[in-house]
Amino acid sequence: MPVISVIVPTFRRVPELARCLAALGGQGRPADQIVVVCRDTDTDSHAAVAASGKAIDLALVGTGGQVAAMNTGLDAARGEIVAIIDDDTIPSPDWLERIERHYANDARLGGLGGRDVVHHGERVVPASEAKVGIIELHGRIIGNHHIGLGAAREVHVLKGANLSFRVAALAGARFDSRLLGAGAQVCNEVGICAAVRRNGWRVVYDPAVVVDHFPAVRHDEDARNTFSPVAQHNATHNETLAVLDALPAWRRPLFLAWAFALGTRASPGLLQAPRLAAQGAPNVAARVRASLSGRCAGVKTWWRTSAGKK
């Protein structure tokens, strides 16, 4: 049996962390190691880990942001397989058993992710999409991991709420420290999944590998369901940088043309502004400005750090 380490990054979400750890304790296939990564100043979470009564490795990080936390967890993990989940999730009792089975049955499997079933109060977001975890020809990222249905299949990108890697497939790769943000640092999964694929391994999404996800408060500028120009700039910077790194050279101009002209509703380009305004969307001008500044910053970061290496 392979050694499996589970990494749980957390920050000031003690009730959610306690619930997640309790669910990890109820796995049919127990984790060989649980690593909880906390900010060094988050003493409430330190106390919650101590009070859990479980054999847990507490890894402390002094730098804010999910990237530093997950990289600290990877450095602390002893397993041949590392599984990462959010602290506001509850893994199904067969979660680790299914993960182990996938890696045992596929010697070229480098990364595996599953569905995070999102709960909003009493409402559960149903599965509805077959297209999951794809970077389209022009560079648009299709997520849908929380609503994926169908059989296990190969994808480009997994979701950090529920993913795992074979350590050999990482070959030393880590989450990208160039990403901006003090908390969630969106698109952090894109680069590490691309690295696994470049190393010759498969990345697979199986919606039967399930965690229940109860989205909790974020203690940073990227608060859920609110608009922040800083968070918008950071998110678009991160997406731009991650996609430029992931795409082959011939697709990058196509991505940049699409991103600056059209983009998405969440990260709109110039031509999206009239449509969004006509629909009565809030903060259209500010969202477009922050998105375009993030695009420019992402291109600059990529050019400065990656352009000559790709």
pLDDT, one tens digit per residue, over 48-89 is: 999 988 899 999 999 999 999 999 999 999 999 999 999 999
Distant-in-sequence, close-in-space partners of 163: CB < 8 Å, separation ≥ 6: 83, 84, 111, 112, 113, 114, 189
* Residue 216: pLDDT over 90: no
Say if residue 224's pLDDT is above 60: no
Task: State the pLDDT at residue 225.
Answer: 64
pLDDT band of 306, cuts 50, 70, 90:
confident
What Rg value do the Cα atoms of the chain yield, rounded? 19
- What does the pLDDT look like over 8-37, one tens digit per residue? 999 999 999 999 999 999 999 999 999 999
Mean pLDDT over 97-115 rounds to 99
List pLDDT tens digits, range 169-187.
999 999 999 999 988 899 9
Instruction: Give the C-alpha separation, 288 to 284, whole Å.
Output: 6
Beta bridge partner(s), residue 83:
6, 164
Q: How many helices (H) and strands (E) does the chain have?
A: 10, 12
Nearest to 169 by CA among 145, 203, 135: 203
Domain ranges of the chain: 4-213, 229-309
**How would you class 58 by CB atoms within 10 Å of its CB: exposed for 0-12, middle for 13-18, buried for 19 or more?**
middle
Is 4-213 assigned to CATH 1.10.260.40?
no
Percent of the chain with pLDDT over 70: 96
CB 51 within 8 A of CB 22: no
- The first and second tokens of residue 111, run together, are 């990364």
pLDDT of residue 203: 99
Q: Which of 139, 115, 124 is nearest to 251 (CA)?
A: 139
- Reported as a pLDDT band with limits 50, 70 and 90, residue 307 is low
**Quick one: pLDDT at residue 53?**
84
